Structure 1
Amino acid sequence: MERSPPSSAYGQACTHCYKAKCRCVRTRSGETCERCLRLNKRCEPTETVRRRNNHNVHNPQASSVSDRRIARLEDKMENLLSVMQSFIGSARASSSGHASLVTPASTTLNFGEAPVFGTSSTATASPNPEPIYAAHQYLSPPTGQPDAQLDFFRARMLPSFPFLDLGPAMTIGYLRQHRPFLLHTIHTVTTLSNQARLARTEEFKRTLFNSAFSNAESSIDLLLGVLTYLAWSTDPFLGGADLVSRLMVLAISLVYDLRLFKPSSLDAQLMMAITQGRADGNGPDLTETPYALLERQRAVLACFFLSSNISSHLGRQDALRWTPHMADALRVIEITEACPSDRLFVSQIRLQLLKQRADDLRRQDEGGIGTDAAAGSAPGLLYLKTLRRQLHELQSSFSPDLQNMDILNTQAQYVELYINQTGYSISHEPLPPEAGILMGNRTGPLGFQRLECLWRSVENIKSWLDSFYSIPCARLIGQPFHFWSQMILSVTLLKYLSTLKDPDWDCQAVRNTVHLISTMDSVLQRLELSCREPELQCDDHLLKYLSKLISRCRGWAEARLNVVPQTSLDTHGELHHIPDLDQMGWLQSMDLGDDQWFEDALGMPKTFY
């Protein structure tokens, strides 16, 4: 009977076995150990442990407190570096050259470095490769040819919401090999014609269904693809609100499956490391590269951002809960600045977090009316005042040389608009019974707090529009869904503020500050100029539909502000209150491609309001 190879001597275990606290059994050649050979890992001795043990053998008196402290620090540094530094996983070589493979790295990869892409005929397959999804050849050009849609997405769309790091080194070959679903989604959202996008969207849904449901797969590629589709989706404006809400729920479930909202427990990680030689498959990989780590952190933050916006726009689900782990991820991205656009992305997340806190306060306030609600409104108003102060401090911290500063300013003004509208909603004031006014409908004379919130909203809308006008027309083409949602809600709220019937409210002062019809004319002009851009050689793109909406709304406003006498406004549905921004039912049924929707929405004021 052959004897099994002996274990390594004490202190001579390789790096991987030492970290996993596993028995290190050398192969007969002595060049590697059986565990590293089985897991396809490079077997390296633990130099620091060996030196420390040899030092103690020859110098027994050297085991001082300081030496033990140094040893502990070395162990901690090795464990930390195992997360921050690793080899870039090799990929399968392709004889036809269809993919650019990742070459093994022998040097440390810093956070500021992108993965190195190249070809290697001797590269070995990664032990845990990403699932490869079937993609039709028509979705991307053959290898070696430029991808105009990928370039358009990278240059014209991603800078407005940079949650992906797609530097020049991130070639189409690498995406086709490692992020095929993301690449598929990029080609879908960069198809600007609505009719042409339908076919790609159907393929997107089939691939997603087979991967996420039929095969029950959860991968970072799936998550990034879904987030990209949601960020630049046109469905909420074209009768597809149901699809968007379901995709948002799916994205949140993928975040939970991938354990991105919080790390796996230490016990789970140790058990997986001991039994299988790797970390928890549903948690952060202890050997993942810094690039992959930042990719996952950006993904969970983007999911929070999008879920918060979609929750406000459609009102169908809550936003992803903010966790301390997500706060840590935000700090890591802010400190490392591995991607030039990370500063903008971090600022966008911090702004959205303030908006979400205001939304959480409003939800807590719902359910009570009358005296009880009024009694609880004072702490809420103080909290909103704190949020407003934090928002102004955050705005003052923005660097003047920050790219896409106009995009960031529009978001900041919208966040303050949301805070002010939240203050209007929760600042109920009890009225005497003889007033004969039902507080459930929030009618009656405005109090000082509500009056202040509404006038601040007028100023926010004006500032948002000023930032909107400063954006070049060419850049309007690639703006994400939440940008256009902000425009629609700002114009809608301006309509309410321009026609609000209340003895304490001066509608004429609103019109003198931001005139409703003039504003719509200016917005229409910007949209029409953008439609002349060479990329928009079709008549069914999103900007055409948005122009149609603003044009119809302008006709409604002109009929009521210029033609109808001021004394008869009450007969045309003017209300005494303003609804919450996420409780406008017509937004959830919006279909700008259906004329019947316009007739139902604009022909019936109570529906449009």
Structure 2
Amino acid sequence: MERSPHSSAYGQACTHCYKAKCRCVRARSGETCDRCLRLKKRCEPSETVRRRNVHNGHNAPAASVSDRRIARLEDKVEDLLSVIQSFIGSNTRNANTANTSLVTPDSTALTFGTSSTATVSPNPDPTYLPTQYQSTPSPSSNQTDEQLEFFRARMLPSFPFLDLGPSITAGYLRQHRPFLLHAIHTVTTFSTQERLAKAEELKRLLFTSAWSNVDSNIDLLLGVLTYLAWSTDPFLGGADLVSRLMMLAISLVYDLRLFKPSSLDVQLMMAITQGRADENGHPPSETPYAFLEKQRAVLACFFLSSNVSSHLGRQDALRWTPQMGEALRVIEITNACSTDRLFISQIRLQLLKQRADDIRQQDEAGMGTENDVASAPRLLYLKTLRRQFHELRASFAPDLQQIDILNTHAQYVELYINQMGYSITHEPQSPEEFGRAGNGGVPLGFQRLECLWRSVENIKSWLDNFYTIPTANLIGQPFHFWSQMILTVTLLKYLSTLRDPDWDCQAVRNTVHLISTLDSMLQKIELTSREPELQCDDHLLKYLTKLIARCRGWAEARWNVASQTPHNAGARHHIPDLDQMAWLQSMDLGDDQWFETALGMPATFS
């Protein structure tokens, strides 16, 4: 009869358990301990080690103590590498035995240093898939969901907060992430009428789960984030819905305790070892894939809340925390997904943009003295943001996937920083200076002129990058891309018609001609509308074409009038903040009355 496992008596631990200072539990066979058996190590008694330590005594020289510490560290590193190798072998055997698609050559990997790689199963749960899903079809089979494949190939690369490798099929998502799959089906429906029907069903499922059943799970969070990222609601009178869903996503982040202070590296290592307990004796609760899935989700929630906050103005962005910084670092060092580099760059760009927004809000709250051109701390902060931006921009690898999309995002962030600089440089308001400018307002001053001209250069660069994006890639762009396009063109309109004695509108027009720009954008969007996936009359690009065409009519009607009007005529002109355009927050491109009410554009404009 086999003996029950028990801890070794004091002083009888094996060599490896003694060095690692771990409890040495003998296996049932009695010939080895559980730890050595799991690590596939030779279990040896520690008599020689104990004897060496006794001879050294307490008066051993410092060098000897240091050597022993180094030896223990080396042994721990060796243990970790052995565990990783064992984990790889275990996954390989499981794949060969069960003939599953969970671990494939295309699976993502967690890489530590240059000597070891641990394959990560795409299963988000601690256990493997049920039997009926262990032989799911490959992505090239006839059973592959076309909408999922389109989302994976044409939409997700623009905002890759999900790791949907080829081994994750529609059947897998239907079993483990049903709400996410429903959200993917919704955002890959381009007809507005058809999408509205699917969105209603999505909301019904969401409200039942989140409110009636009071559920909080990663499936709900990922589904809500997916819908928000590719939502068309902000352009069709649904800004309130987007705001509510954003608040729900933030509440799910808190309910799932994704802000819980902890060492992400320790958790990740425990998950990789698949069986090692933490220092409190608790077993790991999730796989590496599920762990990284949550880290990407909380960062995506920050990104989207920052965009919704600034573009719709209905709530504050999710506060950046040290745990988010750790999540960003863990995703970077693991490099588990080929698109993680792009995602990390997008998050860091958005963090700079959010910091600029924070300083703008502080300025609106009354920072600085009323008669200062701009307080020194704010100008220093502006310079710091610009320096950090250029350092981040220089770190972009030229071979990065979707580099054109990343460049447009970068140009918008720099544009936002420059507009923040324009808004915080407060002009003196003395009667003499106000009289010098006449009724047209206060002259801009050097700092504001510099910020505005930098903005012109940002707009030109954004447009240059926009024109290089293939039409096939424009279809799957998320909400924030089209919102940035609208804001960029709107700001160009202000800069092209700004009446100020120190501002040269003609120089702006020579650099970026507003009407020619609108014509080029219309042509680009028209070409994109011919893509096979957009063969309907009510997709988003049709509505954006309608907006740009009417903006062109507005610009053409006022183009010569603005250039011939004296600077001191009429009301004082200014450049509004990008976050304070009420017409964008109430946008409804499907309603002709909105154009006339919000923008002063008659519905019959041709």
1:269-304, Cα deviation, whole Å (9 max, x unpaired) = 9xxx9xxx9889xxx983533322222222222111
Identify the residue that residue 239 of structure 2 maps to in structure 1: 241
Report if aligned partners of 2:440, 2:571 keep a CA contact under 8 Å in 1: no
- Does the alignment pair 1:345 with 2:374? no
2:180 pairs, out of 177, 182, 189, with: 182
Q: What letter matches 2:592 in structure 1?
A: D
- 1:332 alignment partner, SS class: helix
TM-fit CA distance, 1:494: 0.8
Distance of aligned partners of 1:510 and 1:265 in 2 relative to their CA distance in 1, 3 Å threshold: closer
Distance of aligned partners of 1:580 and 1:80 in 2 relative to their CA distance in 1, 3 Å threshold: farther
Identify the residue that residue 319 of structure 2 maps to in structure 1: 321
Give the Cα–Cα distance (whole angstroms) in 2 for the partners of residues 177 and 344 of structure 1: 29
Distance of aligned partners of 1:315 and 1:589 in 2 relative to their CA distance in 1, 3 Å threshold: same
Q: What letter matches 2:518 in structure 1?
A: M
Give the Cα–Cα distance (whole angstroms) in 1 for the partners of residues 89 and 578 of structure 2: 46
1:389-447, Cα deviation, whole Å (9 max, x unpaired) = 2222222222222221111111111011000100010000222135568x9x9942111
1:74-131, Cα deviation, whole Å (9 max, x unpaired) = 56886899999979999xxxxxx9x978589xxx97456664579xxxxxx977899x
Report if aligned partners of 2:103, 2:120 keep a CA contact under 8 Å in 1: no
Deviates more, 1:371-380 or 1:336-345: 371-380
1:543-564, Cα deviation, whole Å (9 max, x unpaired) = 0011111111111111111467
1:300-335, Cα deviation, whole Å (9 max, x unpaired) = 221111111111101222222222222222223223
Report if aligned partners of 1:193, 1:539 keep a CA contact under 8 Å in 2: yes
Distance of aligned partners of 1:129 and 1:360 in 2 relative to their CA distance in 1, 3 Å threshold: farther
- Does the alignment pair 1:367 with 2:365? yes
TM-fit CA distance, 1:457: 0.6
- 1:372 alignment partner, SS class: coil
Distance of aligned partners of 1:147 and 1:417 in 2 relative to their CA distance in 1, 3 Å threshold: same
Distance of aligned partners of 1:604 and 1:367 in 2 relative to their CA distance in 1, 3 Å threshold: farther
Identify the residue that residue 602 of structure 1 maps to in structure 2: 599
Deviates more, 1:285-294 or 1:445-454: 285-294
Matches within 5 A, 1:498-577: 498-562=496-560, 566-567=564-565, 575-577=572-574
Q: What letter matches 2:233 in structure 1?
A: D
Q: What letter matches 2:447 in structure 1?
A: Q
Matches within 5 A, 1:156-175: 156-175=154-173
Identify the residue that residue 147 of structure 1 maps to in structure 2: 145
Identify the residue that residue 114 of structure 2 maps to in structure 1: none
1:176-203, Cα deviation, whole Å (9 max, x unpaired) = 2222211111111000111001121112
Between the aligned residues of both structures, percent identity stands at: 68
Q: What letter matches 2:581 in structure 1?
A: M
| Structure 2 unaligned regions, length at least 5 | 57-63, 92-97, 112-116, 130-138
- 1:360 alignment partner, SS class: helix
Matches within 5 A, 1:283-432: 286-368=284-366, 371-372=369-370, 374=372, 377-432=375-430
- 2:588 alignment partner, SS class: coil
1:374-400, Cα deviation, whole Å (9 max, x unpaired) = 365332122212211222222222222
TM-score, normalisation: structure 2? 0.79
1:580 pairs, out of 577, 584, 587, with: 577
1:30-80, Cα deviation, whole Å (9 max, x unpaired) = 99x9xx9xxxxx996677796465665787748884556644665688689
Q: What letter matches 1:449 in structure 2?
A: Q
Identify the residue that residue 94 of structure 2 maps to in structure 1: none
Matches within 5 A, 1:22-33: none
Identify the residue that residue 205 of structure 1 maps to in structure 2: 203
Distance of aligned partners of 1:69 and 1:242 in 2 relative to their CA distance in 1, 3 Å threshold: same
Identify the residue that residue 136 of structure 1 maps to in structure 2: none
Q: What letter matches 2:522 in structure 1?
A: L
Report if aligned partners of 2:359, 2:378 keep a CA contact under 8 Å in 1: yes
Report if aligned partners of 1:251, 1:303 keep a CA contact under 8 Å in 2: yes
Report if aligned partners of 2:121, 2:289 keep a CA contact under 8 Å in 1: no
Identify the residue that residue 489 of structure 2 maps to in structure 1: 491
TM-fit CA distance, 1:591: 0.7
1:8-31, Cα deviation, whole Å (9 max, x unpaired) = 444789x9xxx9x9998999x999
- Superposed CA RMSD: 4.6
Distance of aligned partners of 1:340 and 1:129 in 2 relative to their CA distance in 1, 3 Å threshold: closer
TM-fit CA distance, 1:246: 1.4
Give the Cα–Cα distance (whole angstroms) in 1 for the partners of residues 180 and 534 of structure 2: 23
1:146-177, Cα deviation, whole Å (9 max, x unpaired) = 21101111111111111111121222222222
